[in-house]
Amino acid sequence: VRFDAASGSCSLLACDRGAMDACRKCRHSSDSSLPQLWLREPVKCWTTFQHRVDGSVSFNRSWADYASGFGQGESLNYWMGLEQLHQLTATGVWRVRWEFSDWNGTWYWAENSPFSVGPASDKYRCSMGPLDVSRSSVGQRTEQHWSPNNWQFSTLESDNDNWSGGSCARDRSGGWWFGWCNFINPNGVYLLPPAALNNTGIFYYLVNSVGSSLKLEYSMKTFECMLWQ
């Protein structure tokens, strides 16, 4: 939003990450030095359930940690918690948004709908619909064993993936809905350049091509997973 002090009016700026509602995420509400804006009508906001901005918090955690949640708050390194995710997505229809950036400053985003997380009795199984191409800047792999859809959650000590030869959570250094193993790994080990440019860490795997950031051997700078109803 741009505020014109002379006229006292506000105008919406163009959103550079897809649909306009994808931009409704305020991270500076506690900063008293910034001008405040009150809207006449309710605005739906995205709810963050995962966020990575640096390597100060390890995501190679136990089942108990992933179930209850951990981190520094949603504006920094954060995991909401599987139980809260289940309670949140148990009502209504939700969509998920994957938003991430590489070390060149390029932003990417993708959305899937519907999205929900099952109960603890089913090890918080993920249910995820197809990619919404109209609201995404990148494609998505569709192989069942690469998608989070219909897989139970796995951590270091709770291996529920479909990889008979090992543990995806151990191999990827973080908990997730792994099949064999996955095209998306937001909770992997956080790497800095130059290691991040040629090694597996936090990735969104689309193609294994030279120079691409969307490959297994490239670790993103930031990654955020959000929900919207």
| C-alpha gyration radius of the chain | 18
**What are the phi and psi torsion angles at 52 (to 5°)?**
-130, 130
CA angle 38, 3, 16 (to 5 degrees): 95
For the chain, 229 residues long, give each residue's pLDDT as a single digit of tens: 555 667 766 655 445 666 656 555 655 555 666 555 555 555 567 899 999 999 999 999 999 999 999 999 999 999 999 999 999 999 999 999 999 999 999 999 999 999 999 999 999 999 999 999 999 999 998 888 889 999 999 999 999 999 988 999 999 999 999 998 889 999 999 999 999 999 999 999 998 777 789 999 999 999 999 999 9
The pLDDT value given to residue 180: 86
The pLDDT value given to residue 142: 82
Decide if 64 contacts 83 (C-beta within 8 A). no
The pLDDT value given to residue 38: 57
Decide if 73 contacts 223 (C-beta within 8 A). no
CATH of range 45-228; options 3.40.640.10, 3.30.70.1350, 3.40.50.620, 3.90.215.10: 3.90.215.10
Q: Provide the strand spans (E) within the chain.
A: 2-4, 9-11, 47-52, 70-71, 78-79, 95-101, 107-112, 115-117, 126-128, 184-185, 203-204, 222-228
The pLDDT value given to residue 15: 57
The pLDDT value given to residue 209: 76
The pLDDT value given to residue 145: 84
The pLDDT value given to residue 11: 57
pTM for the structure as a whole: 0.85
SS3 letters across 58-120: CCCCCHHHHHHCEECCCCCCEECCHHHHHHHHCCCCCEEEEEEECCCCCEEEEEECCEEECCH
